[in-house]
């Protein structure tokens, strides 16, 4: 297995992005971290470099909906670290509302961040990897990508299904270029985005969830449900469950 030394993570100031950054730092990887919240990002970078002497952590402020800035920041990270070995497209939004309730603004924003902005990140990473002739692209999608869901998850599930399909197509495109592409579909893991879930027996703790994410990413599969239990067997159930019962997942 190729050691991916220099790792870029978007949306790294909190949640799954922060958790993955902490795990990779503990393994001695150099990190390129970006997010909108600059202060939190810089504090995280200082903490990781102090805790793990020898690694390099570089940061940039980035709103992923500024597509030109995405390409510029990725290029800056590559120049600063010398190469990018793995890019984790993690920045996302869970702001959807029921369709037809007058909140197209929220659904549009969810689609723009989770699909269009993620596609921009994939384009930027793939361009760099093509030039390098190597790299590992990781797209953090969602268990919700399996099928359409009602209520507040309609736009969210659609955005994640779309970006998973985009990742699949990218994998086929880049397979012969020495570039790997992994579609990661997390279930419920503690994060700011999942605060609305409340108490749920399926909700993984943040630390164990980050550990499972990093383990899956390091294996570099085409697709991974994380944590594997119970989300791998549930992925089979999800495909077969009658539509009338889908609201239980929303």
Q: Provide the CATH number for the domain around residue 148.
A: 3.40.50.720
Q: Where do runs of H (alpha helix) occur along the chain?
A: 15-26, 38-51, 67-81, 104-111, 118-132, 154-174, 206-219, 228-240
The pLDDT of 26-41, averaged and rounded, is 95
Q: Is residue 89 over pLDDT 60?
A: yes
Please tell me the predicted confidence (pLDDT) of residue 82. Answer: 97
CA distance 66 to 75: 15
Assess if residue 168 is contained within a domain.
Answer: yes
The 10 Å Cβ neighbour count of residue 10 is: 28
Residue 247 pLDDT class (50, 70, 90 cuts): low
Percent of the chain predicted with pLDDT > 90: 84
Residue 1 pLDDT class (50, 70, 90 cuts): low
Q: Is residue 91 over pLDDT 90?
A: yes
Output the CA angle 46-51-54, nearest 5 degrees: 85
**Sign, CA torsion 69/138/116/177:** positive
Assess if residue 44 is contained within a domain.
Answer: yes
Assess if residue 1 is contained within a domain.
Answer: no
Cα 51 to Cα 10, 17, 39, 57, 207, distances in angstroms: 21, 18, 18, 12, 17
Q: Is residue 244 over pLDDT 90?
A: no
The pLDDT of 6-34, averaged and rounded, is 97
Structurally, how many domains does the chain consist of?
1
Please tell me the predicted confidence (pLDDT) of residue 58. Answer: 98
Query: Strands 6-10 and 30-35: what pairing?
Result: parallel
Please tell me the predicted confidence (pLDDT) of residue 250. Answer: 55
Residue 18 pLDDT class (50, 70, 90 cuts): very high
Assess if residue 69 is contained within a domain.
Answer: yes
Domain extent for 127: 6-249
Q: Which residues are catalytic?
A: 156
User: Do 156 and 104 meet the contact criterion of CB atoms below 8 Å apart?
Assistant: no
């Amino acid at each position: 297995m190729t050691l991916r030394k220099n790792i870029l993570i978007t949306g790294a100031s909190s949640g799954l992005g922060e958790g993955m950054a902490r795990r990779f730092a503990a393994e001695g990887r150099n990190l390129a971290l970006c997010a909108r919240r600059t202060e939190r990002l810089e504090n995280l970078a200082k903490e990781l470099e102090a805790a793990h002497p020898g690694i390099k952590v570089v940061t940039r402020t980035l709103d992923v909906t500024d597509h030109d800035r995405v390409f510029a920041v990725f290029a800056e990270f590559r120049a600063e670290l010398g190469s990018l070995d793995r890019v984790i497209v993690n920045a996302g939004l869970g702001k959807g509302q029921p369709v037809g309730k007058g909140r197209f603004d929220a659904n549009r924003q969810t689609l723009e961040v989770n699909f269009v902005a993620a596609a921009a990140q994939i384009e930027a990473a793939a361009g760099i990897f093509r030039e390098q002739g190597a790299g590992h692209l990781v797209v953090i999608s969602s268990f919700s990508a399996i099928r359409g869901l009602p209520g507040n998850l309609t736009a969210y599930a659609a955005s994640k299904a779309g970006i998973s399909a985009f990742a699949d197509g990218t994998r086929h495109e880049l397979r012969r270029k020495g570039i790997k592409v992994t579609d990661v579909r997390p279930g419920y893991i503690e994060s700011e985005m999942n605060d609305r879930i409340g108490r749920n027996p399926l909700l993984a703790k943040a630390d164990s969830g980050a550990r499972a994410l990093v383990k899956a990413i390091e294996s570099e599969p085409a697709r991974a449900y994380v944590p594997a239990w119970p989300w791998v067997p549930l992925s089979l159930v999800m495909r077969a469950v009658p539509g009338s019962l889908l609201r239980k997942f929303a």
